[in-house]
Amino acid sequence: MAKLPKDLLGLRELNAEQIQLILDTATACKDIFSRDLKKVPTLRGKTVVTLFFEPSTRTRTSFEIAGKWMSADLVNLTVSSSSVAKGESFVDTARTLEAMGVDLIIIRHSLGGTPRLLADSVAAHVINAGDGAHEHPTQGLLDLYSIREKKGRIAGLNVVIVGDILHSRVAKSNIYGLTKLGAKVTVVAPPTLIPKGIGEFGVTIETDLDKALRDADVVNILRIQLERQTKAYFPTLREYSKLFGVNLSRLRQARPDLLVMHPGPANLGVEISEEVSVHDQSVITEQVTNGVAVRMALLYLLTGGGNKDEILH
Ligand code: CP
């Protein structure tokens, strides 16, 4: 039976069997949404800390909800009011937390590789909640889960990822996860926003969104990561939107069962129009819901759980 490593640092280092284990465990966790009382004792006695050095709505809140529903003791450490603000290194901060008996640390940081450094420094389990432009494995997993839930499979699907591929950690985790599970992935962006060497990961590179969407089963739309851009990568947002934005007119030319996804937060009117974001084919809200189930599964599996049938008892 598949077993996860000590830490979840990225989908690049998981195999297909381990990814399937997480998705199957998340399916068992999702049953909690149909309950009136969404509280199970599964993680009683486990202590989980979130340590976010960058803003977050979905990831942080869904980890908090997942932990609380499973009865873990959950602490949100706010960087601005912690001793990090006084110059303490984040490794010392993590060791301090570990000395208090913390079992699992969830970290988001603007520097790629920071979760790896942390995982190598502490015995506690570490989950990468997004590190720079490197990986966002829990978003990748919930995207895989959402595709499998809606399409019934991942293998053989044509998945288009459009947006700021260069700066997007979501794109990287999606590419690793989707290709490992047998999807055909096409990345679409202006040439300046396509990372060198991305073709080595088995993806097709395209700059014509209309052409890419013609045969697509799924489109995952990513925002322009202005906070990570150090120069101008395209003339204006208006021109970007015209060439790479998904609007109703483009949606109508694609397959009628094209699944529309966006990890959020979205810049409506830039990479996705408001009409498309709330369209019947959009699963953006379901992605958020599935994020809780996937994060429940990860908390359970990383802290030693193995039998998915016992999660909600
Ligand atoms: N998708 C995502 O990571 O969203 P947040 O930044 O709100 O966590």
How deeply is 111 buried, as exposed, middle or buried, from its count of CB atoms within 10 A (0-12, 13-18, 19+)?
middle
pLDDT greater than 80 at residue 24: yes
Q: Which amino acid is at 165?
A: I
* 310 token code pair: 């016992």
Is residue 96 located within the same domain as residue 202? no
Q: What's the complex ipTM?
A: 0.97
Q: Which amino acid is at 109?
A: H
The answer to the question of residue 6 being in a domain is: no
Average pLDDT over residues 163-189: 98
For residues 21 and 140, is the Cβ–Cβ distance under 8 A? Answer: no
Percent of the chain whose pLDDT exceeds 90:
87
pLDDT greater than 90 at residue 231: no
Q: Which amino acid is at 284?
A: I
Is residue 41 located within the same domain as residue 162? no
pLDDT greater than 80 at residue 137: yes
Sheet of 259-261: strand order equals 204-206, 184-188, 158-162, 218-221, 259-261
Distance 100 CA to ligand 1 centre (A): 28
CATH number of 58's domain: 3.40.50.1370
Residues with CB under 6 A from ligand 1: 56-59, 130, 136, 139, 263-265
Per the structure, the count of domains in the chain is: 2
User: At a CB cut-off of 8 Å and minimum separation 6, what does 213 contact?
Assistant: 160, 219, 250, 253, 254, 258
Average pLDDT over residues 58-83: 93
Is residue 204 located within the same domain as residue 295? no
Distance 164 CA to ligand 1 centre (A): 15
Is residue 200 located within the same domain as residue 117? no
The answer to the question of residue 232 being in a domain is: yes
pLDDT greater than 80 at residue 285: yes
Is residue 260 located within the same domain as residue 145? yes
Sheet of 104-109: strand order equals 73-78, 47-52, 104-109, 125-131
pLDDT greater than 90 at residue 85: no
| Residue bearing the CA closest to ligand 1, atom 5 | 56
Q: Is the pTM here over 0.90, yes or no?
A: yes
Is residue 156 located within the same domain as residue 226? yes
The answer to the question of residue 143 being in a domain is: yes
List Cβ<8 Å contacts ≥24 apart for 302-305.
302/4, 302/6, 302/7, 302/8, 302/104, 302/125, 302/127, 303/43, 303/46, 303/103, 303/104, 303/125, 305/42
Nearest CA-CA partner of 292 in 5, 31, 41, 37: 31
Q: What is the mean pLDDT of the chain?
A: 95
pLDDT greater than 90 at residue 82: no
Percent of the chain whose pLDDT exceeds 70:
100
pLDDT greater than 80 at residue 81: no
Question: Which range marks the domain in which residue 56 is found?
Answer: 16-136+291-310
The answer to the question of residue 108 being in a domain is: yes
Average pLDDT over residues 248-264: 98
Is residue 104 located within the same domain as residue 30? yes
Q: Determine the residue of 58, 283, 290 to mutate for testing ligand 1's pocket, defined as the one with the most ligand atoms within 8 A of the Cβ atom.
A: 58
Is residue 282 located within the same domain as residue 151? yes
State pLDDT tens for residues 303-312.
999 888 889 9
What atom in ligand 1 is closest to the CA of residue 62? Answer: 8
State pLDDT tens for residues 112-131.
999 999 999 999 999 999 99
The answer to the question of residue 305 being in a domain is: yes
pLDDT greater than 90 at residue 47: yes
pLDDT greater than 90 at residue 83: no
What atom in ligand 1 is closest to the CA of residue 136? Answer: 3
pLDDT greater than 80 at residue 238: yes
Is residue 188 located within the same domain as residue 263? yes
pLDDT greater than 80 at residue 300: yes
Is residue 259 located within the same domain as residue 301? no
